[in-house]
């Protein structure tokens, strides 16, 4: 026995052998088709892999070129950097001086404002004190003047009765 479909035909009957041989040939055909499909897929994958490797090489070359380009740009910029750094330092120091000057001016303005408010309160208090002390004096003065100058007292009384 060799394991061929013809060997099966001799062992068991013709009908079983024919169905077995047809199913075996169908399976062989199916396996053949699957094998061919897998073989084609394998070839396609090999081609895709080769294409990807080539693209990666191109990307690596591009990266190397960009690195060189950036290094050249940095070398071109480096001579200007010390001058720019000095300019930046001077601008920062000027800015900090201006900020300090502005802070000092603001604090001076606030101090002057507080001083003026205190002086204003003191003057208002003094004005109220003077008003309180002057009102009786002015009434006394009016009384004295009214005896001396009766026509003047009537005029003053008519013009501002709130004083009396």
What are the tokens at 23?
Answer: 């199913």
Q: Is 35 helix (H, G, I), strand (E, B) or coil?
A: helix
Please list the ranges in the chain whose pLDDT falls under 70.
Answer: 1-21, 76-80, 134-164
Instruction: Confirm if 138 and 157 have CB atoms less than 8 A apart.
Output: no
Distance of CA 73 to the CA centre of its chain: 29
Please give the pLDDT value at position 73: 78
Please give the pLDDT value at position 8: 45
Whether the predicted model's global pTM rises above the 0.85 cut: no
Nearest to 21 by CA among 4, 9, 5, 32: 5
Q: What is the pLDDT of residues 59-83, one digit of tens each?
A: 999 999 999 888 887 776 666 677 7
Please give the pLDDT value at position 19: 58
Domain that holds residue 94: 5-163
């Amino acid at each position: 026995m060799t394991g061929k479909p013809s060997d099966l035909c001799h062992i068991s009957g013709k009908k079983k052998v024919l169905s077995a041989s047809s199913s075996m040939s169908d399976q062989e055909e199916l396996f053949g088709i699957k094998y061919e499909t897998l073989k084609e897929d394998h070839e396609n994958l090999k081609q895709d892999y080769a294409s990807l490797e080539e693209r990666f090489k191109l990307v690596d070359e591009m990266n190397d070129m960009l690195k060189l380009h950036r290094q050249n740009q940095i070398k071109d910029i480096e001579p200007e950097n010390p001058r720019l750094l000095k300019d930046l330092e001077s601008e920062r120091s000027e800015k900090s001086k201006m900020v300090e000057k502005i802070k000092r001016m603001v604090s001076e303005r606030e101090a002057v404002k507080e001083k003026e408010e205190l002086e204003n309160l003191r003057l208002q208090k003094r004005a109220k004190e003077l008003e309180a002390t002057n009102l009786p004096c002015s009434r006394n003065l009016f009384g004295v003047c009214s005896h001396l100058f009766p026509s003047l007292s009537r005029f003053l009384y008519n013009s501002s009765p709130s004083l009396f």
